[in-house]
């Protein structure tokens, strides 16, 4: 017995499979993003995706016309739908857990492929034909391999595209859904090619579902259901974006707590050390200046560190890195500058700034270390600079006057003169 295909219904079945695939990608993203509602999204996604795959199968069956009345057993048909939903639940569960391994993709693809084959061949068996259906072995094997391969591809694709960050990702989702739809349809029609009908076969009289009355309700229900599911996920998008922004803000807050000194707003020792490591990779010559904030007795004056940091803040706009490395110590990093260059061009201006702060009972002690001469790693340079710090308010020699001052030096000199 030979059958014929209705091209319009074949195309419709592929479109339903593609739409079901797109809904699966959307729901996988929601399950991954909305952890607190994982169960609800997983159940809804499994029903939507499974129903879409099942509807594609029965629309594809309706596209195949036999010269005899076709009907289906209700119980077996429901079982085939449950198999599709179970397979979809497994897929969504796997891709929403986290990164996929080769083992999880392999095992998941085999399990999903078996479920898809169970759905397809149970749906075929629901006709309960007498004599029974026969199958061409090569096409049967091909359908099973396509089911497993399509399942593996679907797992990888859905896992990669579960988060949308730009319009490009939406386009990728659409293209991926089309590929998945063709793969699912490929399994179905290769399975149909494997079926062999006896010329005298007929469907069991006890079948309750007539194929002639099943096509239209199945198409309408699948399109409406998938459309509603897609609308539901799109309407939830603003909440997902808000949650993502909140998570990003929290991550930035934690990063600030971990790497930023809250009192001065400067990077802390850990972050400054990392910046120094990066600078040493970029430039062979890197200098570190230790600025200790001391009181009149030469002890670290933690209470005046913020004032010293504010005075040194313009350096950040001039290409220098500034950080707080201990309660009473600041450090400045200069790339591509020698120690001698710093001591003759910059330190004089900084010492004049220290003269201004000395009127407030604060003394600045400076020490310079240059890499790699004074150390070939960040920690060594920071320790060397700190060990060379001297209390300029009590022991350092007077700073030499320079004929040309930088903007920062001129500002500090003006501040000193105003204070005087």
In this structure, are 158 and 75 located in the same domain?
Answer: yes
In terms of C-beta density within 10 A (0-12 exposed, 13-18 middle, 19 or more buried), how is residue 281 classed? exposed
Q: How confident is the model at residue 265 (pLDDT cuts 50, 70, 90)?
A: confident
For residues 58 and 194, membership in a common domain is answered with yes
Do 145 and 202 belong to one domain?
yes
Where do we find the tokens 């596209």? 63
- Asked whether residue 332 is assigned to any structural domain, the reply reads yes
Q: What are phi and psi of 116, to 5 degrees?
A: -65, -40
Neighbours of 227 (CB within 10 A): 12
Torsion angle, alpha carbons of 337, 343, 345, 349, to 10: 130
**Does residue 47 register a pLDDT over 80?**
yes
Is 126 found in the same domain as 34?
A: yes
What is the domain count for the chain? 2
H-helix or E-strand spanning residue 209:
strand 209-210
Last residue of a domain, one of 213, 246, 279: 246
Bridge partners (DSSP) listed for residue 238: none
Domain that holds residue 339: 269-419
Q: Could you tell me the CATH number of the domain that includes residue 307?
A: 3.30.70.270
C-alpha torsion 241→243→246→251, nearest 10: -100
What pTM was estimated for this model as a whole?
0.55
Give 133-170 pLDDT, tens digit per residue.
888 899 999 989 988 888 888 778 777 776 655 556 66
Q: Exposure pattern of 230-259 as b/e (b: 16+ CB <10 Å)?
A: bebbeebeeebeeeeeeeeeeeeeeeeeeb
User: What SS3 state is found at 164?
Assistant: coil
**Is 89 found in the same domain as 40?**
yes
Question: pLDDT for 270-280, tens place per residue?
Answer: 888 888 888 88
Based on the domain organization, do 119 and 232 belong to the same domain? yes
Work out the end-to-end distance of the chain between its first and last CA atoms, rounded to an integer number of angstroms.
110
* Helix and strand element counts for the chain (H, E): 14, 13
Instruction: Report helix, strand or coil for 27.
Output: helix
Give residue-wise pLDDT tens across range 281-298.
887 788 899 988 887 777
Let me know whether 342 and 231 are in one domain. no
Q: Do 201 and 315 share a structural domain?
A: no
- 75 lies in a domain? yes
Lookup: tokens for 227: 């459309």
């Amino acid at each position: 017995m030979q059958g014929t295909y209705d091209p319009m219904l074949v195309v419709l079945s592929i479109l339903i499979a593609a739409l079901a695939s797109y809904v699966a990608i959307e729901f996988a993203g929601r399950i991954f993003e909305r952890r607190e509602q994982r169960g609800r999204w997983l159940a809804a996604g499994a029903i939507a995706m499974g129903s879409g795959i099942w509807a594609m199968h029965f629309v594809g069956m309706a596209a195949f016309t036999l010269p005899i009345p076709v009907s289906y057993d209700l119980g077996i048909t429901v079982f085939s739908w449950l198999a599709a939903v179970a397979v979809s639940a497994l897929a969504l569960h796997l891709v929403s857990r986290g990164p996929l391994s080769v083992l999880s993709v392999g095992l998941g693809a085999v399990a999903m492929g078996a479920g898809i084959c169970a759905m397809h061949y149970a749906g075929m068996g629901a006709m309960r034909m007498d004599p029974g259906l026969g199958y061409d072995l090569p096409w049967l094997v091909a359908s099973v391999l396509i089911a497993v391969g399509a399942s593996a591809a679907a797992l990888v694709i859905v896992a990669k595209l579960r988060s949308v960050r730009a319009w490009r990702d939406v386009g990728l989702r659409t293209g991926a859904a089309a590929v998945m739809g063709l793969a699912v349809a490929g399994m179905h029609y290769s399975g149909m090619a494997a079926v062999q009908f006896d010329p005298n076969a007929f469907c069991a009289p006890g079948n309750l579902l007539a194929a002639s009355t099943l096509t239209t309700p199945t198409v309408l229900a699948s399109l409406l259901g998938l459309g509603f599911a897609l609308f539901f996920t799109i309407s939830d998008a603003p909440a997902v974006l808000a949650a993502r922004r909140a998570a990003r803000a929290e991550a930035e807050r934690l990063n600030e707590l971990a790497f930023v000194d809250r009192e001065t707003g400067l990077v802390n020792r850990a972050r400054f050390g990392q910046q120094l490591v990066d600078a040493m990779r970029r430039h062979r010559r890197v200098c570190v200046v230790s600025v200790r904030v001391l009181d009149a007795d030469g002890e670290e004056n933690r209470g005046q560190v913020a004032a010293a940091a504010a005075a040194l803040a313009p350096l950040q706009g001039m290409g220098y890195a500034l950080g707080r490395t201990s309660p009473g110590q600041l450090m400045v990093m200069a790339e591509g500058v020698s120690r001698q260059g710093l001591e003759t061009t910059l330190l004089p201006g900084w010492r004049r700034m220290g003269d201004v702060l000395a009127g407030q009972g604060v003394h600045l002690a400076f020490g310079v270390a240059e890499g790699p001469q004074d150390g070939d790693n960040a920690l060594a340079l920071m320790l060397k600079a700190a060990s060379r710090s001297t209390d300029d308010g009590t022991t350092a020699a007077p700073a030499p006057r320079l004929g040309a001052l930088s903007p920062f030096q001129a500002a500090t000199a003006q501040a000193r003169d105003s204070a005087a």
